[in-house]
Amino acid sequence: MTTSTTSESRNGVGQTTIDLLSAALQVDAAALHAVWSVESARASFQADGRPTILFERHIFWRRLVAYGTDPQIHAAREPGLVSRAPGEYGSAASQHARLARAENIHRAAARESASWGAFQIMGFHWRALGYDSIDTFVDAMYRDEAAHFDALARFLRLDPRLLPALRAQNWSTFAFAYNGPAYRKNRYDEKLAHAYQQFKATTESLSSGGAPQQGFKIV
């Protein structure tokens, strides 16, 4: 991760905010640090201020079907954007350009087919997470890192496996529920366990990061 979770991050998210989330979810703050450092492989925001995203072409196929649009026509023209199979991701810097091209096909489906922000939460979860629309969710992802933590709190409550696993530091169960069966290939459980031990050992030396971002709330 290019943005350290041990110091104040973009728009003032720091240890105090993590402590607030820790208390609300009854989760060890070091566990939240571990999730932030491992699941957010890159910075939460790009240098130009846009949130980090990853566009998933196979999800776009499914979302087009859900909206009643035939994906096969678009797959023939834009196989890098529309496909039954994952792949052809391109560089991190190219993701917003890929999203913009996909939005020309179907705006809502395209936005729902990207993972967003610090915790790479898929856009299609917007309704289950309690946002009014996909655009409301995307606006929150553009706002600040505090909004990313709010989305994480919502997401952790969606799957009944996530919070108990996080509270117990059961990293294999958490990684499976959060990332799917591919977690083994990427060794997410091992990375989470290692990060947790690192943060747990240095909890008292973590920077306070100041007060939480104004307007931050955990739903």
pLDDT score of 42: 75
**Pair of tokens at residue 136:** 């409301």
pLDDT score of 149: 93
| Contact indicator for 136, 126 with CB cutoff of 8 Å | yes
> Residue ranges of the domains in the chain?
10-44+144-205, 53-116
pLDDT score of 39: 80
The terminus-to-terminus CA distance of the chain in angstroms comes to 27
Which residue in the block uniquely carries the two structure tokens 């998933």?
56
Sorting pLDDT into bands at 50, 70 and 90, what band is 93?
very high
Question: pLDDT at residue 214 above 50?
Answer: no
- How much is the mean pLDDT over the chain? 88
Q: What's the CA angle centered on 156, arms 155 and 162, to 5 degrees? A: 135
pLDDT score of 103: 99
Each residue's pLDDT tens digit, 18-46:
889 999 999 999 999 999 989 876 789 99
Each residue's pLDDT tens digit, 45-67:
999 999 999 999 999 999 999 99
Phi, psi (degrees; rounded to nearest 5) at 36:
-60, -45
**Stretch 110-118: mean pLDDT:** 97
Each residue's pLDDT tens digit, 138-155:
999 999 999 999 999 999
Sorting pLDDT into bands at 50, 70 and 90, what band is 17?
confident
Q: Other C-beta atoms within 10 Å of 69: how many?
A: 15
Task: Determine the residue type at 39.
Answer: E
Q: What is the dihedral of CA 51, 52, 57, 61, to 10 degrees?
A: -30
CA distance 18 to 161: 21
Task: Determine the residue type at 216.
Answer: F
pLDDT score of 41: 67
Sorting pLDDT into bands at 50, 70 and 90, what band is 10?
very low
